[in-house]
C-alpha cells in the first residue's frame, strides 16, 4: 500500500470527509476535524452527515481498522500530523467573491498547534494566489520553530459519485513551490495509483476554476441551443447525439435542462468572473454562462404561467428537489427557485424526493408557506394523485421509472413540465399527456 502517513483533515463536508475516508482506505492514518461535536459523534458511529453512495460503508470499514478518527480537538489532530488537508467551505459572498474566513480560521489554528515540520494542503476551491497568502498567514502566527509549507490539491469529485471520483480520478492535480512539498504529496497519493499532474500553486488553483467553468459553460451552451431548437423545430436530444460522436466535444455534459446547480458550478463561475474583474478583465464566456443559467432555471415555470390563468389553489406535483440525482444537496437547486415562485403564486405543492426531502423541509416546513402550501410525499404517485400540473426537476431513477400512463391515470389534468427531458415526447403524447420539455 505504499508509505503510511499521519494525516489530519480540516472540515467534514463533501470535500474533507470524502478525502479523509479515501486516504484511510488507502492505508494512511487519518483524523478528521470538525467544530460540531454532534457531527463527530455521528461519524464515529459510522453514519455519514451527507448522502453519498458508498461513503458510509468505507467509514465503517476504516473506523473498524483504527485508521480513521474524528475529533473536535484540532490541537491534538494538528500537532504531529505530517500533512494537514484543508477542506472547509469557501461560500459565495454577495458580490460573487469567495469567503475565506473558514480558511483563515483553520490556518491560524494550524499555526498555533503544529509541533513538527508539516505540509498544509488546501483542497478547498480558492481564488488564485490564496495558497501564497495561507502560507504567509501560517508563518505569521507560528508558535514554534517548525517548517510549514503550503500546497494546492484541488478536488474534482462530483456529488453523487464522490467516492468513486476520488479513488478512480482521471488525474491528481498538485500545486507546489518546492521539491520537498511535491515529494510529500506524491507519497500520499502513491497508493492510489493515479496519474499525477504536478504544477505551480497558482496554476493548480486556476486549473480547478478553469475545469468547472468550462463544464458550466458547456451546460449553458447546450441549454442555449435547446432554447433555439424549440424555436426552429429541431430536437435537442438528436442534436446532442450527433455532437457526442465528435471526440473534440465529448459525450458528457450535453444534456439540456433547467440549468446547473450544486456547490461548485454556480459558485465557481461567479468567483472566476469576480477574480477577472478584480484584475480589470471581463470573462465574457463565463459571464454568458452565468446569465443563461439564471434564466434557464425558471424557464418552465414561465412557460406554465403562460399556459395557466393562475396557480392559486391548484395542486402542483413537484418531482425531484435535489440539484441532481445521487445527492441530498440543495445548493442552487432549480427546485428552490421554482417552488418559491409557485408558493408566491398560491400553489398547493405536493413534493417528492427520495433523499433530499428532509433538507427541503428545513427551508419549507410542511403546511402554509406564504400564499401557498407544501406537503411532502413518499412516492411519485403520491405527488401525482389528482394533481393539476407536474414539474420534474431531478433525474432520479424513481422518477424516470414512472410510466407515461401513470401521469394520465393519476393526475386531474395530465399536464407535465419536464426540466430533465426524462420522457420520450411521442410516448407521452400517445399516453394522452400534455408534455413540455427543454429543446424538443
Dihedral sign, Cα of residue 228, residue 334, residue 153, residue 97: positive
Q: What is the pLDDT of residue 159?
A: 87
- Rounded to whole angstroms, how far apart are CA atoms 33 and 24? 14
Cα angle 35, 41, 44 (rounded to 5 degrees) comes to 115
Are 145 and 171 part of one and the same domain? yes
Is 302 found in the same domain as 182? no
Catalytic residue among 22, 118, 229, 264: 264
pLDDT of residue 2: 57
232 shares a domain with 304? no
> What pTM value is reported for the model?
0.92
Q: Are 223 and 259 in contact (CB under 8 A)?
A: yes
Given 199, 228, 249, which residue is the final one in a domain? 199
| Structural domain contains residue 90 | yes
| 3-state DSSP percent of the chain in helix, strand and coil, to 5 | 45, 15, 40
Q: Are 325 and 160 in contact (CB under 8 A)?
A: yes
Alpha carbon distance 231, 303 (integer Å): 14
264 catalytic, yes or no?
Answer: yes
Q: State the DSSP string of 383-427.
A: HHTT-SEEEE----HHHHTS-HHHHHHH-SS-EEEETT--S-HHH
Which residue, 268, 295, 322, sits at the end of a domain? 295
Q: How many domains does the chain have?
A: 3
221 and 179 in a common domain: no
Residues 305-334 have a mean pLDDT of: 96
Which pLDDT band holds residue 109 (cuts at 50, 70, 90)?
very high
Query: Cα dihedral sign for 253, 440, 260, 398?
Result: negative
Decide if 260 is inside a domain.
Answer: yes
Cα atoms in the Cβ-side hemisphere of radius 13 Å centred on 424: 8
Write down how long the chain is.
440
Tell me what the mean pLDDT of segment 308-314 comes to: 96
pLDDT at 289 over 70: yes
Is a pLDDT exceeding 80 seen at residue 1?
Answer: no
Q: Note whether residue 360 is domain-resident.
A: yes
Residues 119 and 23 both lie in one domain: yes
Per-residue pLDDT tens digits for 418-440 = 999 999 999 999 999 999 999 99
Q: Report the sign of the C-alpha dihedral through residues 161, 164, 167, 171, in that order.
A: negative
> Domain check: are 432 and 336 in the same one?
yes
Tens of pLDDT, residues 248-284: 999 999 999 999 999 899 999 999 999 999 999 999 9
**Judgement on whether residues 402 and 429 belong to the same structural domain of the protein:** yes
Give 237's pLDDT tier (boundaries 50, 70, 90).
very high
Strand order through the sheet with 83-86:
68-71, 29-33, 6-10, 83-86, 118-122, 148-152, 172-175, 196-199
Q: Which of 56, 18, 27 is nearest to 169 (CA)?
A: 18
CATH code, domain with 420? 3.40.50.720
Backbone angles phi, psi at 239, to 5 degrees: -65, -45
Is 254 in the same domain as 318? no
In a domain, 75, yes or no: yes
* pLDDT, tens digit, 9 for 90 and up, residues 340-393: 999 999 999 999 999 999 999 999 999 999 999 999 999 999 999 999 999 999
Question: How far, in Å, are 33, 76, 140, 145, 325 from residue 111 at the CA level?
Answer: 15, 13, 8, 11, 40
Kindly state the helix (H) or strand (E) to which residue 176 belongs, with its residue range.
none
Indicate the SS3 state at residue 359.
helix
Assess whether 291 and 306 both reside in one domain. no
Q: Which of 177, 199, 221 is where one domain is finished?
A: 199
**For residue 1, is it within any domain?**
no
Tell whether 12 and 111 lie within a shared domain.
yes
Q: Residue 54: which domain range? A: 6-199
Residue 419 C-alpha cell reads as: 426540466
Is position 416 within any domain?
Answer: yes
88 vs 159, more confident = 88
Based on the domain organization, do 149 and 65 belong to the same domain? yes
pLDDT digits (tens, 9 = 90+) for 9-49: 999 999 999 999 999 999 999 999 999 999 999 999 999 99
Please report, for the domain that includes residue 222, its CATH number: 1.10.1040.10
Region of 180 on the Ramachandran plot (φ > 0 left; ψ -120 to 50 alpha; else beta): alpha
Q: Is residue 353 part of a domain?
A: yes
Within this chain, do residues 259 and 345 fall inside the same structural domain, yes or no? no
Amino acid at each position: 500500500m505504499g508509505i503510511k502517513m499521519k494525516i489530519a483533515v480540516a472540515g467534514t463536508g463533501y470535500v474533507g470527509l470524502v478525502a479523509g475516508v479515501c486516504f484511510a482506505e488507502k492505508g494512511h492514518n487519518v483524523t478528521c476535524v470538525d467544530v460540531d461535536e454532534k457531527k463527530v459523534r455521528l461519524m464515529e458511529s459510522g453514519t455519514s452527515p451527507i448522502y453519498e453512495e458508498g461513503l458510509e460503508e468505507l467509514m465503517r470499514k476504516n473506523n473498524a481498522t483504527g485508521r480513521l478518527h474524528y475529533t473536535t480537538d484540532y490541537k491534538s489532530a494538528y500537532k504531529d500530523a505530517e500533512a494537514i488537508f484543508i477542506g472547509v467551505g469557501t461560500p459565495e459572498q454577495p458580490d460573487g467573491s469567495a469567503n475565506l474566513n473558514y480558511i483563515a480560521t483553520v490556518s491560524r489554528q494550524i499555526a498555533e498547534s503544529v509541533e513538527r515540520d508539516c505540509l498544509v494542503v488546501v483542497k478547498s476551491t480558492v481564488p488564485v494566489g490564496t495558497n501564497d497568502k495561507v502560507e504567509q498567514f501560517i508563518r505569521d502566527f507560528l508558535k514554534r520553530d517548525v517548517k510549514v509549507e503550503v500546497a494546492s490539491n484541488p478536488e474534482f469529485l462530483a456529488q453523487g459519485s464522490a467516492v468513486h471520483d476520488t479513488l478512480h480520478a482521471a488525474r491528481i492535480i498538485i500545486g507546489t513551490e518546492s521539491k520537498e512539498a511535491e515529494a510529500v504529496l506524491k507519497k500520499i497519493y502513491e497508493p492510489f495509483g493515479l496519474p499525477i499532474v504536478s504544477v505551480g500553486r497558482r496554476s493548480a488553483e486556476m486549473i480547478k476554476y478553469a475545469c468547472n467553468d468550462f463544464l458550466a459553460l458547456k451546460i449553458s451552451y447546450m441549454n442555449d441551443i435547446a432554447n433555439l431548437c424549440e424555436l426552429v423545430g429541431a430536437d435537442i436530444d438528436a442534436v446532442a447525439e450527433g455532437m457526442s460522436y465528435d471526440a473534440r466535444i465529448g459525450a458528457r455534459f450535453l444534456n439540456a435542462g433547467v440549468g446547473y446547480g450544486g456547490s461548485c458550478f454556480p459558485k465557481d463561475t461567479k468567483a472566476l468572473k469576480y477574480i477577472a474583474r478584480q484584475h480589470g478583465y471581463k470573462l465574457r464566456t463565463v459571464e454568458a454562462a452565468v446569465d443563461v443559467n439564471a434564466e434557464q432555471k425558471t424557464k418552465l415555470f414561465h412557460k406554465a404561467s403562460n399556459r395557466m390563468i393562475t396557480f392559486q389553489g391548484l395542486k402542483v406535483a413537484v418531482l425531484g428537489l435535489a440539484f441532481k440525482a445521487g445527492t441530498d444537496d440543495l445548493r442552487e437547486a432549480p427546485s428552490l427557485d421554482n417552488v418559491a415562485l409557485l408558493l408566491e403564486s398560491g400553489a398547493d405543492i405536493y413534493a417528492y424526493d427520495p433523499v433530499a426531502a428532509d433538507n427541503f423541509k428545513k427551508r419549507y416546513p410542511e403546511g402554509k408557506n406564504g400564499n401557498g402550501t407544501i406537503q411532502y410525499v413518499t412516492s411519485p404517485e403520491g405527488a401525482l394523485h389528482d394533481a393539476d400540473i407536474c414539474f420534474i426537476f431531478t433525474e432520479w431513477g424513481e422518477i424516470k421509472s414512472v410510466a407515461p400512463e401513470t401521469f394520465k391515470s393519476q393526475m386531474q389534468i395530465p399536464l407535465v413540465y419536464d426540466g430533465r427531458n426524462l420522457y420520450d415526447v411521442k410516448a407521452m403524447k400517445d399516453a394522452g399527456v400534455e408534455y413540455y420539455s427543454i429543446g424538443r
